[in-house]
Structure 1
Amino acid sequence: MKRWGSRLLCVFVWGAAMAAQAGTLTVSAIDSHGHAVGDAVISIDRANPPAAASTHYVDQKAETFIPYVEVMHPGDSVVFRNSDNTRHHVYSFSPLAAFQFILSPGESSAPVLLDHTGIIAVGCNIHDRMIAYLVVTADQSQVTSKQGKARFDGLPPGRYTVRIWHPQLSPGHAPASVTVDVPAEGAAPALPFTLRLLPDPRGSADREQLDY
């Protein structure tokens, strides 16, 4: 019993030491009017922890792709499903992944494997205001919430380059980036970004009624 107790104590101490060597980084995004910006992709220059490939789902409701922006990793797949009462023609001309599916109500597409990093714009040939973006990245990345927040926990201490991208930034502009030091314990100072965004290309649909 004493031997097992010693082992458990060692595991506990090791786990506590590892936790003490992990910091937190919180990022916020607002627009030029001071409003929170959701759907911004925050990336830090650290590779994702090894994980099995996963399948992501992009739905179509109220003639809108949900989510608007989806972060994926090389080797992941995406499936499009139609939860509307009308037909959709989903397509992408991206050299990273060209595809098209005609989906009747209730149908789902075959999985599309995405094994190259980059940004893939997705549209609907029937409803022009429908658009979504698949961001395939090897870096640790998150999409900001409606409150414009993203939080990275369990980061090893060190200096990180943080980048932000949003589909409504002016085309051709490089993503804004900043360098921040994450401490061995606790949180780095909150990192704010202010973005100058173009109008939402999806039109005037009532986003508050959409489930995302």
Structure 2
Amino acid sequence: MRRSTGHARDALAWQTQSLLLAYPDERLPEHLALALRVAAGQPKAVARPLQRFAEHAGRTPLPELAADYVATFDHRKRCCPYLTYYAHGDTRKRGVALLRLKQTYARAGWRLGDDELPDHLAVVLEFAATDPAAGARLLTEHRAGLELLRLALSDTDSPWAAVLESVSATLPALAGDEREAVMRLAAEGPPEEQVGLAPFTPSSFMPEPSPGGPR
């Protein structure tokens, strides 16, 4: 892993990774072509995983890849793409974290669609591509969850593990406390709801993840 340098280069990587983490549809060939073009200008640690994913997705029939996406991200809790879940689980604190993300986006003049949750990794990466400094802070803040997702995808031999590997390579090397956070999350899992947990956030800020995330 490397320390992130060059906002423009990182922004291109994050935009590409965001597209590859969305539900694969008829635009996939265009996204794969973009991934290969962007990879050509990236450091090897960022580029090679993008190339691996593009090669796999390019030779896999779209219905098969789409089914694999649903099986991975919708049916495996360990492969949850919603980053606040790793820190807060399904507790009320997650609602506060979602609200803060929305506020961060709004301050940058960036607004989500009504059907998008702000903590889906594809959404965070898309935001990071438009505001690299703020986006890098968000990705670093949720680094433990991001790494746990990467490990879960690797454990299941998912092709999307390569995309997460590429994301991690755009960020600073893990510090000791971040490694410990990843290990703790892996051992304990995200927290469970606690009765009377405060502060309470209205249910409108705690929507259930939609199947497959951004599409």
TM bin, normalised by shorter chain, reads under 0.3
Q: Taking structure 2 as the reference length, what is the TM-score of the superposition?
A: 0.24
Higher strand share: 1
Q: Which has the higher contact order (CA 8 A, sep 6+)?
A: 2
Higher helix share: 2
Q: Taking structure 1 as the reference length, what is the TM-score of the superposition?
A: 0.24
